[in-house]
Amino acid sequence: MHDMKQLEQALGYHFQNPALLETALTHTSYANEARRGTKHNERLEFLGDSVLSIVVADYLFTHNDLPEGELTRMRASLVCESALFGFAQKIRLGDYLRLGHGEELGGGRHRPSVVSDAFEAVIAALYLDGGIEPARRFILPFVTQALTCKNTEDDYKTKLQEIIQQNPEERLSYVVTDESGPDHDKHFVVQVHLNSNCIGTGEGHSKKQAEQMAAKEALSLMGY
């Protein structure tokens, strides 16, 4: 396990009670194998999920005038397992986890469910040690970056669709041509077709991302 000081630097916060952070990083498998009384992170995960939800909901409510249904959809996309796993990877959180022997051998450091749960537990540790503001300062950079990337990506497909719709007889479709890699690190290749002709190819760690990159290439080749 890596030095906790390095993780505190990544979190942008120094813990008054380091035991909170240690517990947040402790998986049940480690606690079950360790000496009696070792705490694991499931209770912190429960609290962190709520802290994350309120911080994200507050930000979305404050920064736009979207209706309730759209706000709910956006919040769900930012607090789901895949989003949290992506956030956690940016700070290499998996490197710091305390895992039992079996979980370690089974690839727990790269398992989305394990790492995303620990991410929520770390949020709870920040909240309990310093209050809502340290938690908010930690969470919001991930949220704002994700929203920026999402808006940029959405523009590629939307713009391409708008251009093609000028000719009603034309039809766009996206086709996955290759899928590889383990579950925690998938790689997709997608082609965008205009009728039966390929007009762009894109790659990404999700089908959606690969589709966006294919649309981006198509727009570039079309001179947009």
* Active site annotation includes 49: yes
Counting as low any pLDDT under 50, the low residues of the chain are: none
* Phi, then psi, of 107 in degrees rounded to 5: 85, 30
Q: Which of 103, 120, 153, 217 is catalytic?
A: 120
Looking at residue 64, its pLDDT comes to 86
Looking at residue 151, its pLDDT comes to 66
pTM of the model: 0.71
Looking at residue 152, its pLDDT comes to 62
* Active site annotation includes 170: no
Q: Which of 33, 42, 49, 81 is catalytic?
A: 49
**Helix H or strand E segment including 178:** strand 172-180
Please name the residues in contact with 160: beta carbons below 8 A apart, sequence gap of 6 or more.
172, 192, 215, 218, 219
Residue 42 assigned to a binding site: no
Residue 3 assigned to a binding site: no
Looking at residue 182, its pLDDT comes to 81
